[in-house]
Structure 1
Amino acid sequence: MKKYLSKYFLASILGVLLLSCTDLEEKPVGILAPESLFKTPTDVQTAIFGAYGWIASERLYGRQFVTAIMLRSDMVDIGDRGTPAERQQVNDFNMDDNNNMVNVFWPYWYQVISAANAAISGAESLKLGENEINPLIAEARFIRAFAYYHLVQVFGDVPYIDRFITDPSSVKEISKTPAATIYQNIIADFQFGKQWLPDNQPNSVRSRATKGTAASYLASVYLTMADYQKAYTEAKFVIDNEAKFGYGLVADFQDLFRAPEPNNLKEHVFAIDFLGQQNGGGGANDDIMPPMTGVRGADAPRSGWSVAVPSMAVYNTWDSRDYRKQVSFTDSILIGGVLKPYTVFDNTKRPHIAKYARYAGNSNTEGRYSDHNYAAMRYAEVLLIAAEALAETSGGPNAEAIGYVNQIRARARNRAGKQTNFPADVATGLSKDAFINLVLEERRLELAFEYKRWYDIKRRKLGEQVFKGPNSLEPHTNFDPNRDYLMPLPRIELQVNPNLAPQNPGY
């Protein structure tokens, strides 16, 4: 999809201006009005590409949002304590309602939503037959649901906007929508996507949604809601149609994190596509995750800032026989032309995350402006959703559920072409609770540093266990389950619009 993302459709939450970027340079187009702006399905498609472009920005998947939910987990700690306080506050569970990470990514998610709503309204204004226009509406609705999928998990009750805003004053008095209602709206959008999206996008690009993408996210939403039967049904639909959708596990785990990944990498169910060495205004296409996770003082092109760095416990408790550990960590690196171990790293003497900095592709000397296609959803995760949900509905693990985990473990035994015997297949005879814990642990390792762990902690209410328990990988004795499963709404939003009150508990 890289060829599409040189044009960005930029729309604010107030919805009064439409900006279109060609070659990442912002150029005003005019006042938004669907009937005057959208003349053809191509115009709708341009708006959709712009919504995708908002996601591939520094404010969301390029740094701010994904760093926040990564630091919130027990897998990633602050490395360099000289980094801005806003990041330390998110990590240390002492953030307030003026945290600048939240202040930055909150409006960007609503810009994604605004662009999607503009596309939906524009498509409807064309008055075309449903077979012609519904696939585009479905793609816009998928993007809207994807934005709310993240907003509702991070903040709980938030304003839900499902219309194209033509009157800015109407936004000033909008109130919050209950999370339960938002989830139902998300489900409706994903269901519409599952009905109307194509089985495959042109050239099988994975940075545009398909039926399989929508079904996979339905499975994830149902898992989050603990509706395990529906989670299994949706995941099984994807698994049963893996050939139709072109899904599967790549043979070598490292190839998932070697930029530039192919646009049609079979394990990618949905990817966030960055273009190497390009960037634009407002953080457009600016991927900063390689330097955020890279080693400060290392030789280019793998130098970085040592900001988001796992604790030693995360590294030490991960079995070194697991190839995924080798792929996931940098525990030695060239410094001054000499390979040095982490014990002498200049700033943070701990192994660093390697998934983004090791192979950043076409990028600058720190890995910034990378060529990564970040997997927001992988087929491996669909298998793990199916395994967990099936065990919940079946009273424990059966051969099918175990088989899904074993597929992932079998891939992990391929150590860059050399077959090993670790990790072994799942033992039979496990209790339901033991198997669920095994699946959660498999998710923690398989999806390490891919922005999933915090959502698992939240949905399973594991906070007190993982932050205050005896086996905590990243102890935080101040973790408060009555406060810390949600982040605060931005203070400035409540000051502008008191109808958004009350603030989330504890802030």
Structure 2
Amino acid sequence: MKINIYKTLWCIGLVSLFAGCSDLEEKPVGILAPETFFRTTEDLQAAVNGSFAYMASEEYWGRKLTTALLLRGDLADIGDLGTSAMRVDVNNFEMNDANGMVASFWPRSYAIIGAANQAIAGAGQIDDEPEKVNAIAAQACFSRAFAYYHLVRMFGDIPYIDFAVSDVSDVDDISKTPEAEVYAKIIADLEFAKKWLPDEQPYRSLPSKATATAYLASVYLTLGEYRKAYDEAKFVIDNAGTFGLSLDADFQDLFNADKAPGLREPLFTIDFIGQNADGNLGTDYLASMTGIREDETGRAIGGGWTVAVPQLKVFEEWDEKDYRRAVSFDTIAVFNGETMPYTVFANFSDRGVNRPHIAKYYRYPGLAGSNGRQSSHNYIAMRYAEVLLIAAEALNEINPGSSEATGYLNRLRERARNRAGVLSAYPEDVPGGLSQDQFRDTVIRERRIELAFEFKRWYDIKRLRIGEEAFGPDGLEPQPNFDPARDYLFPLPGDELARNPNLQPNNPGY
């Protein structure tokens, strides 16, 4: 049975159970209404933790949302053509308003929002020090902003709900909020979070002041407000020591589930617990989705599913001397006890493909089950490297030729020259003296390489309006169905529009 937004919000408001994340260690609690449940800051934190717990679910970061973002970009394609049609349709720009991926991550998004709204409303019921209450409410504001930031980039105008729902009739006839207003509300939530969150948290799965600031920088970059994007990114950079942030020395460590607790680069992570998932909460299938079919390595007995695989051109155009290429791609696998190159993968499975596979999630999934399912990855949704990239891109738009902007890119390239402790000469530093256009091209390429397969590329294609280039005959992933008048937005779920005519019409072309 499909879950719609109203049923989801009703459940959040009345009988929701918030299952626990590994680091947050909250107990399942039933939310009846803010005025009856919230008595202490511990109650408030439990509700906030529930909002983050919903992110770590199969319908959201564990597969549906993230796989949709991977396939929508130009770095990954469908490998197994026998996979579900809903994935093929997302990849091939053949979606309709009944797409099953949207039907899964849409209600999960509003579950995240609903839990955050309950916490924000409940904060007003607690008699405690305002600073203490606001610091927890700020986490909820961040969670709400995080969910809406994904929704507005994917769908444009959307229903915006910022109150605790205790009666389903409260949202029976809700309308869409214009995209510009949604962004304004996201910014307001992030500003509140920036003001009240602490400099550091005990876990990177809880947002800090730096997390909120980095997302402000990202939002402003998306909106083309480059001065504000630079100012917010610079605030994080200037205070990196206070925030406990730095680039981790070995790029591979960022994608090794066992190394997650010691990393200093993440600003926000979505944590999975490995084999102990409760239903879809805590369940991660990304390693399986991207892993090599029939691979016999011990990390993922039985092999992956070869659903989202890199475009061969992406691999071939990436200089083999770049350590980030080795980290990002699996080019060998074990079949019948023998190590084989990617050029013969398809020989061992009628649904495999002769391409390198995405390695960032399949190589080191930590505590995981068969095929790498239910990993213990702490997925990095925002990291310090991206803050440097935002600062570099924004600064180039307001002050071309800046050595400061060049320096930010060169910090990433310097880290990339560390090949697991062995220093190399590649990639070389970005030279000075580039024109504004040349530097813009350089920083966008650097984002593509540094953040490859981290669910950022589709958003870059959209904000830069480069879909016709990316999906044209000479692009990384030629897609003849791409239509710039339609495909920069996903379709709103048709069943939602059928239930509530106020949400109509659907996005253009659907």
Same fold, TM-score > 0.5, yes or no: yes
Query: Structure 1 residues 96-105 or 336-345, which shifts more?
Result: 336-345
Indicate yes or no: 2:40 matched with 1:40: yes
Task: Give 1:423 deviation, angstroms.
Answer: 0.6
The Cα of 1:62 is off from its aligned counterpart by: 0.3
1-structure distance, mates of 2:309, 2:209: 36
Distance 1:421 1:21, change over 3 A: closer
> Who is 1:13 aligned against?
9
Distance 2:197 2:109 in 1: 22
Q: Distance in 2 between matches of 1:304 and 1:448?
A: 19
Q: CA deviation at 1:27?
A: 10
1:289 and 2:311 equivalent? no
C-alpha displacement of 1:132? 2.0
Q: Partner of 1:3 in structure 2?
A: none
Which residue of the other structure, out of 427, 452, 476, is the alignment partner of 1:473? 476
TM-score, reference length from structure 1: 0.95
Is residue 446 of structure 2 the alignment partner of residue 442 of structure 1? yes
1:336 to partner: Cα distance:
1.9
For residue 494 of structure 1, the aligned residue among 485, 493, 497 is 497
Letter of the structure 2 residue corresponding to residue 279 of structure 1: A
The residue identity in structure 2 corresponding to 1:493 is: E
Q: Distance in 2 between matches of 1:20 and 1:267?
A: 28
The amino acid that maps onto 2:34 is P
Distance 2:29 2:255 in 1: 37
Q: 1:212-291 residue pairs with structure 2 within 5 A?
A: 212-281=210-279, 283-291=280-288
> Which string of whole-angstrom CA distances, capped at 9 and with x for unpartnered residues, describes residues 371-397 of structure 1?
111100010000000000000011x13
Identify which range, 61-70 or 328-337, moves more after superposition: 328-337
SS at 1:340 equivalent: strand
Pairwise CA distance, 1:477: 1.6
Aligned residue identity for 2:294: G
Q: Give the match for residue 506 of structure 2.
A: 503
Match of 2:142 in 1: 142
CA distance in 1, matches of 2:128, 2:146: 26
Q: C-alpha distance in 2, partners of 1:21/1:378?
A: 26
The letter of the residue matching 1:380 is A
Aligned-residue offset at 1:18: 2.6
From 465, 481, 485, the equivalent of 1:461 is 465
Q: Which residue of 2 aligns with 1:4?
A: none
Cα distance, 1:455 vs. partner? Answer: 0.4
Aligned position for 1:7: none
Give structure 2 stretches of 5+ with no counterpart: 1-6
Q: Which amino acid aligns with 2:133?
A: I
| Equivalent pair of 2:329/2:356 in contact (CA under 8 Å) | yes
Name the SS of the counterpart of 2:259 in structure 1. coil
The residue matched to 2:260 in structure 1 has which SS?
Answer: coil
Is the Cα contact below 8 Å between 1:207 and 1:273 reproduced in 2? Answer: yes
State the shift of 1:263 in Å: 2.9
Does residue 1:371 correspond to 2:369, yes or no? Answer: no
- Does 2:413 match 1:416? no
Q: Aligned AA for 1:19?
A: L
In structure 2, the partner of 1:8 is none
**8 Å Cα contact 1:19-1:27 kept in structure 2:** no
Partner of 1:189: 189
Contact kept? 1:260, 1:373, Cα under 8 Å: no
1:473 Cα offset (Å):
1.0
Partner of 2:367: 362
Letter matched to residue 55 of structure 1: M
Query: Equivalents in 2 of 1:431, 1:360: separation in Å?
Result: 42
Q: Which AA in structure 2 matches 1:466?
A: A
**How high is the TM-score relative to the length of structure 2?**
0.94
Q: Does the CA-based 8 Å contact 2:290-2:306 persist in structure 1?
A: yes
Contact 1:261 1:372 in 2 (8 A): no
**Residue 449 of structure 1 aligns to which amino acid in structure 2?**
F
1:212-270 Cα shifts (integer Å, max 9, x gaps): 00000000000000000000000000000000001111111001111123335100011
Note the C-alpha offset of 1:403. 0.1
Q: Among 480, 483, 487, which residue is 1:484 paired with?
A: 487
Partner of 2:353: 348
Letter in 1 for 2:204: R
SS of aligned partner of 1:358: coil
- Measured in 1, the distance between the counterparts of 2:252 and 2:497 equals 44
Tell me, yes or no, if the aligned pair for 1:301 and 1:364 is still in contact at 8 Å. Answer: no
> Deviations 1:335-370 (Å, cap 9, x if unpaired)?
122110111113111100000000011101311111
| Matched ranges for 1:114-129 at <5 A | 114-129=114-129
What does residue 58 of structure 2 align with? Answer: 58
CA RMSD of aligned residues (A): 1.6
1:31 CA displacement:
6.1
Structure 1 distance, partners of 2:401, 2:73, is 27
Q: Partner of 1:484: helix, strand, or coil?
A: coil
Change (3 A) 1:390 1:28: closer
Q: In 1, Cα distance between the equivalents of 2:379 and 2:254? A: 9
One-letter code aligned to 2:248: V
SS at match of 1:249: coil
Percent sequence identity over matched residues? Answer: 54
**Residue 177 of structure 2 aligns to a residue in which SS?**
coil
Q: Establish whether residue 201 from structure 1 lines up as the match of residue 201 from structure 2.
A: yes
Find the aligned partners of 1:408 and 1:22 in 2 and give their Cα distance.
35
CA distance in 1, matches of 2:100, 2:468: 26
State the 1:301 CA deviation.
2.8
Asked whether the 8 Å contact 2:251–2:324 carries over to 1, the reply is yes
**Cα distance, 1:331–1:138 mapped onto 2, change above 3 Å:** same
For residues 305-324 of structure 1, what are the structure 2 equivalents within 5 Å? Answer: 305-324=305-324
